[in-house]
Amino acid sequence: MATPDARQFRNTIGLFATGVAVIVARADQEVLAMTANAVSSVSLDPMLVMFCPSKRSNLARHLHQLSAFTINILRHDQQALSTFFAGGWKEPQPPPFRLVPAQHAPRLEGSLASIECVPWKITEVGDHWMVLGQVMQLHTGIQPHQPLLFLSGRYRHVHPGDSTPAPDLSDVQDEPAHIYYG
């Protein structure tokens, strides 16, 4: 069987719907921002999250001076900000936005939520870096909570009425069932 190529991999992993966030980082005296969809929670104790900037990104060139960052989860109507901070903006003027001071790093005003972090560990992983951050503060924006999603190379939206409750697993102490194939 042939090894998949990069385009096949992107198309396949693109079937995993993700949220869209803008990372705002403080590195020395600079404030840098970039769009990311490689964002995830990692641990509850300690509370850790991660994002993965490309080694070619401007932010990656400043990672070792990183003192703090925010993960700003975008609302369904903030597609222009995603495009702008990803470097794909073609208009002469940027879309309106404002970075507001927070305890550790600036956050994007009006985002669905912001997670303030300090760097915990930075690891080189292929053509990206994996930045683990310890969560220091949480900010939740306005309701209804309608995030901007990314699926199959396109922006998507959640419709709040289209939902089914998931099981509450907060009290589960044991591991889920393991299935072995013979």
For Cα atoms 10, 154, 41, give the angle at the middle one, nearest 5 degrees: 70
Total domains present in the chain: 1
- At residue 108, does pLDDT exceed 90? yes
pTM of model > 0.95: no
Burial class (CB in 10 A: 0-12, 13-18, 19+), 174: exposed
Residue 164 lies in a domain: no
How high is the pLDDT of residue 21? 96
**For all residues of the chain together, what is the average pLDDT?**
90
Residue 4 lies in a domain: no
DSSP state at residue 80? H
Model confidence band, residue 172 (pLDDT cutoffs 50, 70, 90)? confident
pLDDT tens-place string over residues 23-41: 999 988 889 999 998 899 9
- CATH number of the domain within which 113 lies: 2.30.110.10
Residue 177 lies in a domain: no
Exposure string over 29-55, b if 16+ CB within 10 A, otherwise e: eeebbbbbbebeeeeeeebbbbbbbee
Q: Is 88 in a helix, a strand, or coil?
A: coil
Residue 167 lies in a domain: no
- At residue 16, does pLDDT exceed 70? yes
Residue 60 lies in a domain: yes
Residue 170 lies in a domain: no
Residue 10 lies in a domain: no
- From the list 74, 78, 87, the residue with the least C-alpha distance to 33 is 87
